[in-house]
Amino acid sequence: MSVSRKTGEIYYTDDELQTALQNNNALQYALSRHYKLIKSSRNTYTMKEHDSMVLLSPEYN
């Protein structure tokens, strides 16, 4: 993340944007942060505290 010298606004470089787009696995993020997940099916997990949050396992998509 960078800050524009001209406006002082925060912006992301093209490389940072591409990295974020390629590394956007919400399931892996939730697992790494030790969220309580319930496996509902072969490729679907829900959060224990928020059952409307559904996470899909990428290997089955």
Dist CA 8 CA 17 (whole Å) = 19
Residue 11 is predicted with a pLDDT of: 85
In the chain, domain spans: 25-61
Dist CA 17 CA 23 (whole Å) = 10
Q: What is the pLDDT of residues 2-61, one digit of tens each?
A: 888 889 998 888 888 888 778 778 888 888 889 999 998 888 999 998 888 898 887 765
